[in-house]
Structure 1
Amino acid sequence: MVSIIFVNAPIGAGKTSLTRMLVADLGTKGFYEEVDKIPMLKEFYAQGEESRNDLSFALQIAFLNYRFGQLREGLHLAERGIVNTVYDSSLISDALMSFNLYKRGEFPEVMYNLYVSLNQNMVSDVAGHPFNGYPDLIVFLDIPFDLMLDHISKRGRDMEDIRKDPKLVDYYYSVWNTYNSWYDSFGQAPVVRVDMSKYDFVNNLSDRNTVLNLIEQKLVDLGKLTQDEFDKIKAKRDKEV
């Protein structure tokens, strides 16, 4: 059965790691945020608030174009009934990041309104595929703020280093808060919440299996995965231990 899954979470929560695990488990197609393909991102971080204000529109348009291409490819595959698709980020996530910049006064209102309009127009017709902007399932990684900072630090990207720019902590907190507010009010698609203070699916195999079972059971409940398929996936995982 074809399904579209978005993994949604703030910076450094583990979206890419979980997407890779789901792709391997479900035998699906994954779409990833490859930072090197958005070179403007480094410039966005370079001068703190000043560069965020100057480049917010250009960066979000770059992400919009990038995500749109991924979504278009995924919908083409779904139309042919070949694979499911899992995205480690999405236009929903991009809209949240844009809204956060707008709230912070780092995305001029005229440009922000133009971005929102363009986002809506593109989502409404993805290369001839009607799409309401929402996937079959969203996985939300609910991460404590201190753990989020720890993850960001451990992945070692210079542009994200709070030791070089302590003011980034305030920016990261605003991103974290925006995602939590989104989760508290979102109701347009089914959401599975993963408590990152409880589960370390990257380093703990038992936690990994628990999280994967949680997500895949939801797919069964939604009619996107049969119970037999789910049982076979779990049996395969047990053999690999």
Structure 2
Amino acid sequence: MSARTTLTAARHIVVEGPIGAGKTSLARRLGAHIDAQLLLEQPELNPFLSRFYQDQQRFALQTQLFFLFQRLDKLRDLAQPDFFTRPVVADYLLEKDPLFALLTLNEDDYGLYRKIYEHLSPTATPPDLVIYLQANPETLIARVRKRGVDMERRISDSYLTVLAESYMRFFHNYDAAPVMVVNSENINFVDSDDDFQLLVKRIELMRGHREYFNRGE
């Protein structure tokens, strides 16, 4: 496998994982570490999100389409000739967008969403590396409750559990780019410099198309 999958050589890195996995926090640390441009989701700008957590059935389609358009707008920046003068670290992968839609939309709304998604989605070059953060549903639930974001208080435990399982199925089949699967249960890459450097070292040593990192092993 190409050495472009290492942090020092990759031009486009994606950090992914369900709510509470720490993807945005890790993306920020990696971005600072390699002096990269950040391409981050901004859920706080979605005017439907807080209402979605209160009434999923009523606001699911509006919420999903807003995120889709937001993600597409950001990804269009990648097509600019001067965008890759520095590496790019993103905290989302466009191909996983339908995952949320499938969980939240009814059959008719999902059919409409798919037509819009397929019509608007660009044929983008896959990232050089995807870092997928895993955690048990119980851990994700505890983290979401602990950080106490107001609109997240209404997210049900069952939704977080189904979301984590959906991510696992998605990345089990994903092969468009090299993937480092990280068990985030026993590593604190946000507050511990040692843990962060350990993760960086493990990613730099990556040579296969899919590898796993579990600090406990």
SS of match in other structure, 2:182: strand
Length, aligned pairs only:
200
Cα separation, 1, equivalents of 2:176 and 2:37: 24
Is 1:8 equivalent to 2:16 in the alignment?
Answer: yes
Cα separation, 1, equivalents of 2:49 and 2:168: 23
Instruction: Summarize the Cα distance change of 1:69–1:2 in structure 2 as closer, same or farther, 3 Å threshold.
Output: farther
Cα separation, 1, equivalents of 2:197 and 2:184: 14
Cα separation, 2, equivalents of 1:186 and 1:116: 19
Contact 2:188 2:195 (C-alpha < 8 Å) held by counterparts: yes
Matches within 5 A, 1:42-53: 42-46=50-54, 51-53=55-57
Residue ranges of structure 1 left out of the alignment (5+ in a row): 102-106, 125-129, 223-241
Letter in 2 for 1:173: T
Cα separation, 2, equivalents of 1:216 and 1:75: 27
Q: Cα offset for 1:18?
A: 0.3
Residue in structure 2 matched with residue 160 of structure 1 by the alignment: 152
SS of match in other structure, 1:187: coil
Q: Cα offset for 1:2?
A: 6.2
Matches within 5 A, 1:84-95: 84-95=87-98
Is 1:97 equivalent to 2:100 in the alignment?
Answer: yes
Contact 2:17 2:134 (C-alpha < 8 Å) held by counterparts: yes
Cα separation, 2, equivalents of 1:98 and 1:152: 21
Is 1:173 equivalent to 2:171 in the alignment?
Answer: no
Cα separation, 1, equivalents of 2:44 and 2:184: 27
Q: Cα offset for 1:114?
A: 2.1
Cα separation, 2, equivalents of 1:154 and 1:193: 24
- Name which of 195, 198, 203 aligns with 1:215: 203
Cα separation, 2, equivalents of 1:179 and 1:141: 10
Cα separation, 1, equivalents of 2:27 and 2:143: 16
Cα separation, 1, equivalents of 2:115 and 2:11: 27
RMSD: 2.0
Letter in 2 for 1:135: P
Instruction: Summarize the Cα distance change of 1:113–1:3 in structure 2 as closer, same or farther, 3 Å threshold.
Output: farther
Q: Cα offset for 1:80?
A: 5.2
Cα separation, 1, equivalents of 2:193 and 2:10: 27
Task: Summarize deviations over 1:179-203 as a string: whole Å, max 9, x none.
Answer: 1111222222211111112321112
Is 1:193 equivalent to 2:181 in the alignment?
Answer: yes
TM-score in terms of structure 2 length = 0.83
Is 1:137 equivalent to 2:137 in the alignment?
Answer: no
Cα separation, 2, equivalents of 1:159 and 1:6: 25
Contact 2:10 2:129 (C-alpha < 8 Å) held by counterparts: no
- Name which of 64, 67, 79 aligns with 1:63: 67
Indicate the structure (1 or 2) with the bigger Cα radius of gyration. Answer: 1
Residue ranges of structure 2 left out of the alignment (5+ in a row): 1-8, 209-217
Cα separation, 2, equivalents of 1:93 and 1:156: 25
Letter in 1 for 2:159: Y
Residue in structure 1 matched with residue 27 of structure 2 by the alignment: 19
Residue in structure 1 matched with residue 142 of structure 2 by the alignment: 150
- Runs of 4+ with deviation above 4 angstroms: none
Q: Percent identity?
A: 28
Contact 1:45 1:52 (C-alpha < 8 Å) held by counterparts: yes
Instruction: Summarize the Cα distance change of 1:196–1:55 in structure 2 as closer, same or farther, 3 Å threshold.
Output: same
Q: Cα offset for 1:8?
A: 1.2
Task: Summarize deviations over 1:123-181 as a string: whole Å, max 9, x none.
Answer: 23xxxxx525x3221110011112111210122112222xxx5x801111111110111
Q: Cα offset for 1:38?
A: 0.9
TM-score in terms of structure 1 length = 0.76
